[in-house]
Structure formats: C-alpha cells, structure tokens
Amino acid sequence: MAVRLCGFLLLAVLVRGLHASRPAVNQELSNLFNELWRLDVNRMKPGIDYTISVQGRAGYVNQGSHVVLDHASLPLFSNVNENKLRNITTFSLFMKLLDNYERSTGITERVTPEELTEINLFLDAVLETQVMKRAHQYLVSKGKSSSDSRQFKNQLNLIWFHLYHRQRNTGPDSCGFEHVFVGETKSGTEVIGFHNWVQFFLQEKNSHLDYKGYQGYTARDQDLPDQDDHVLKLQFSWHGVVKPVGSAFIGTSPEFEMAIFTVVFLMNTERSTTVLVNIDQCQMELVVVRKGRCLGTAYPNLLSSNSRHVSQHAH
C-alpha cells in the first residue's frame, strides 16, 4: 500500500512539474486580445476570402538542411481574394513594404525617401484602425505609451522599423518588421523570422516558396489543423532554404498582429518574453524577443485549437 501511495505521489509531482513549466494563462491580455480580435474587421474569412490546404504532416528536419521530404504536393493557399486585399488600406500599404528589404542578413539596408514615405503611410493607416486605437488606449492606461498619437507613432516606428545589426561586422541590416513580416536568410543556410501569411501567399504564388506540410503536431494528436485555423505551424523552403518549423497567424490583418506584439513588447522588459493567452478558439504562446528598444522577433506558438484547451480544462 505504501509503495502504491509513493507511486501516486511521484506521479502527482511529475504532473505538477509539467504544468509548472508552462506559465498560467494571462487573462487580462487574453481579454484585451479577444477584444482586438472582434475589432479586426479587416481580417480575411477562411473559405470565403481565402482557402488553404494543410495536407500532410511534415517530418523532422535539421536547421540548415537543404533536403526535405515534401508532404504537401499542393500549395498551402489554393485561393486568396487579392482584389479584397488590395482594396483594404492597411493590407495594400503593408504589401508595398514587402519588397523594401535585402533578404540576406549581413547586407546593409538602405532606406530610400520613397520607402520612408511608404512606412509613414502604413503607420498612419494602422493608427486609424479600431484595433490599434484600442491597443493604444490600453498602453496609455498602463503608462507604457503617450496619449499623443504622434508620439505613439514614433514609438511604433522605433519598435518595428528602426534598423539595427543582426549580423556583426556590417552596417544596420535588419529591423523588427523585416524579420517578422518579410523574413530573412542567414548565411544562405537558414530562414529566420518570416511569420506572416500574406508574405507566405505572395512568395508561394511567385514560386519562391514551397510549402512542405504542417508541423508541431504528433501522430496521435487529435487536435489536427484544418482550413479554418487562424494559427498554423508550418514547414517550407524559401529560395531553396528550408525553415524546419515556422508559425504564423492566417487571415489576420497586419494591424492586429502589430497591436498584440506591440502590447507584449511594451508590457515586459525581459530580453525574451513568452505570454500564454487564449484568443478566439486557440490557446497559444506569444513569443517576443527584444533587440534593445526594438523588436528582434515575435511569433505565435500554437498549443491548442478548436477550443480543445477548454474541454481539457473542464475535465
């Protein structure tokens, strides 16, 4: 009887340790981000504005590998309403920024006056959305941002667009926006960043990107991705370089993604921050890494979709 009791106690300690390793759900930010989710009127609707085909589960691939089995014979995006994208101001201005950067780190970025104008127009449009207005209001209430919209714009510009060194012995070669939304390659052997669905679609459409299958799920996991999911873990190659595991929101507007990652960035001071949140039907970690006063990287790490975490908690 004593041996059985010890076994139960050991199991309880192990289970408690597993739960302790994952942070508790940040309910305040979950509430805020669900409010932003509801305000995101520019979000594209699955099955209506776009269609994806997740296909097979990708296998394990070492970082830097150029050889990978393809578990998806078709593109991820089988259809996207490009006319709608072009007619939504923030999406349209966002897409104009995607060709402003050198793909490889180690090459100094040079920003032209035209590109500066594009950044300004994009930030102005983002600041006009209800999503970013609500995020701004929250940050002001926490003493993290000025109530003056011009100062908040400067703050966003610093976080997302200020150039810095990602690779040593070069001029400024990167910024948060480029890394997160455009993607970069490092030493010709790694894809780093690249966490945006619009860039994924456009690169796939132009045959620069090959989707290899979904990632991050075990063969026994019933919580498999489907065409309605708004967060996916992916494996793909870009200009022949493999990204073993990437992740991105799907269908969301650029203002939504910028808003939630800006809030996480400003609400924390650690170099690397992971916040556990529930947004819509998904439970995910939002990971944000700083480069001084600028954003190093930011991405969602999906843990559960289709409200599966709710039913698990109920049991």
Contact 23, 301 (CB under 8 A): no
Give pLDDT, residue 8: 45
Q: DSSP character for 126?
A: H
Strand order in 231-238's β-sheet?
209-214, 231-238, 241-249
* Position 23 confidence tier, pLDDT thresholds 50, 70, 90: confident
Integer Rg of the chain from CA: 20
Residues in the chain: 315
Mean pLDDT of the chain: 90
Residue 227 belongs to a domain: no
Q: 194 pLDDT exceeds 60?
A: yes
Give pLDDT, residue 3: 47
Q: 293 pLDDT exceeds 50?
A: yes
Residue 38 belongs to a domain: yes
The range of the structural domain enclosing residue 192 comes to 23-42+67-218+239-314
Give pLDDT, residue 304: 87
Give pLDDT, residue 9: 45
- pLDDT by residue (tens digit) across 106-146? 999 999 999 999 999 999 999 999 999 999 999 999 999 99
Tokens of 125: 């449009």
As a whole-number percent, the residues of the chain with pLDDT over 90 amount to 78
- What is the mean pLDDT of the segment spanning 38-51? 97
Tally of domains within the chain? 1
Q: Is the pTM of this model over 0.85?
A: yes
Q: 238 pLDDT exceeds 60?
A: yes
DSSP of 234-249? EEEEETTEEEEEEEEE
More confident residue, 188 or 178: 178
Residue 8 belongs to a domain: no
Q: 315 pLDDT exceeds 60?
A: no
Distance from C-alpha of 238 to C-alpha of 205, rounded to nearest angstrom: 12
Catalytic residues: 179, 195, 243
Residue 118 belongs to a domain: yes
Residue 6 belongs to a domain: no
Residue 133 belongs to a domain: yes
- pLDDT by residue (tens digit) across 61-73? 888 777 889 999 9
Residue 265 belongs to a domain: yes
- What is the mean pLDDT of the segment spanning 214-243? 82
Residue 234 belongs to a domain: no
Q: 263 pLDDT exceeds 70?
A: yes
- pLDDT by residue (tens digit) across 137-176? 999 999 999 999 999 999 999 999 999 999 887 889 999 9
